[in-house]
Amino acid sequence: MINILTERVFDFMRNNLNKTLESPRTLVFKKGRQPQTFKIVEFDDAKQRIKIEFQESGTKLPLEFWRFELAIEFLFERGEFVRIGASLDAQDKSSLEWVLQKHEKEFYGRRAGTKTAPHVGDILVLAGVAEYGKIRNPKTRRMTQAIRLKTEQP
CA distance 55 to 22: 10
Report phi then psi at 83, rounded to 5: -65, 140
pLDDT of 138 strictly over 60: yes
Predicted TM-score (pTM) of this structure = 0.91
pLDDT of 109 strictly over 90: no
Which has more confidence, 25 or 32? Answer: 25
CA distance 49 to 116: 13
Domain ranges, ordered by start, for the chain: 2-149
Instruction: Give me the amino acid identity at 107.
Output: F
Full strand arrangement of the beta sheet holding 143-149: 82-83, 143-149, 130-136
Give the per-residue pLDDT at 1. Answer: 75
pLDDT tens-place string over residues 57-69: 999 999 999 999 9
Which has more confidence, 150 or 153? Answer: 150
Terminal alpha carbon distance of the chain:
12
Give the per-residue pLDDT at 112. Answer: 76
- The strand pairing partners of 40, in sequence order, are 17, 52
